[in-house]
Structure formats: structure tokens, C-alpha cells
């Protein structure tokens, strides 16, 4: 086999893989979105339970977006990007949890 057909086969295989990646991502995201809206529409979850269930579904969907749309995986070459995502997640957690904690405390003291 000459090298040119080999490389065009590789290109074709990769086109297929990458198109499939976006399609899988779209379907998974659609399913997760439908479940989340369905649970609220049909009033299956309410209150704190809703926060836990919907929060989990959102987390899964974020991972789906990162994996299939942004192509972040656990491969070695993605370690830097993944590290930044994890570090940012830590900062986000500190900001969100800290703010909510402080404001809740303030609110309780004003009651």
C-alpha cells in the first residue's frame, strides 16, 4: 500500500471519529436535558432533593460537554488543561460555597 492512501485512510477514519464524537455529545446532552426538565415538569423532585438530583445531572452534562465538544480526556497531553479545569473548579467551589455560607450567616443574624 502506498503512503498516500494510508494517510487518506487515517484522515477519513478521524473525520468519522470526530463527527461521531459531536453526535454522541449532542444525544447525551439532549437526554440529560430532557431528564432534568422532565423531573421538574412532572414534579418528581422538589426542594433539597431537587438540588441534589439536578446538580448531579448538571455535573454529568458538564462532563459530557468537556469530553465530546471540547475533547478533554484523561490522556497525557491533556493533563495541563485538565489541571487548570480542576484548579478552576476549586476556586469556583471556594467562591460559591464561601459566599453562600457568609450570606446565609448574615441572613440568620438579621432575622
Residues that bind another protein (CB under 8 A): 7, 10-11, 13-15, 17-19, 22, 25-26, 29-30, 33, 36-37, 40-41, 43, 45-47, 50-51, 54-55, 57-58, 61-62, 65-66, 69-73, 75, 77-78, 80-81, 84-85, 87-88, 91-92, 95-96, 98-100, 103-104, 107
Q: Does residue 58 contact residue 40 with C-beta atoms inside 8 Å?
A: no
Q: What are phi and psi of 74, to 5 degrees?
A: -90, 10
Question: Within 13 Å and on the Cβ side, how many CA atoms surround 23?
Answer: 6
Give the Cα separation of 26 and 67 in Å (integer): 11
Min dist CB 101 to another protein, Å, is 10
Q: Is 1 or 91 the residue whose CB approaches another protein more closely?
A: 91
Of 28, 57, 29, whose CA–CA distance to 45 is shortest? Answer: 57
Q: How far is the CB of 1 from another protein (least distance, A)?
A: 17
Amino acid at each position: 500500500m502506498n503512503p498516500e492512501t494510508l494517510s487518506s485512510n487515517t484522515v477519513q477514519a478521524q473525520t468519522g471519529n470526530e463527527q461521531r464524537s459531536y453526535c454522541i455529545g449532542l444525544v447525551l446532552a439532549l437526554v440529560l436535558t430532557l431528564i432534568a426538565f422532565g423531573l421538574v415538569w412532572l414534579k418528581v423532585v422538589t426542594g433539597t432533593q431537587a438540588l441534589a438530583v439536578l446538580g448531579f445531572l448538571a455535573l454529568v452534562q458538564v462532563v459530557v460537554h468537556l469530553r465530546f465538544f471540547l475533547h478533554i480526556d484523561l490522556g497525557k497531553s491533556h493533563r495541563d488543561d485538565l489541571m487548570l479545569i480542576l484548579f478552576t473548579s476549586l476556586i469556583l467551589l471556594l467562591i460559591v460555597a464561601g459566599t453562600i455560607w457568609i450570606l446565609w450567616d448574615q441572613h440568620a443574624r438579621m432575622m
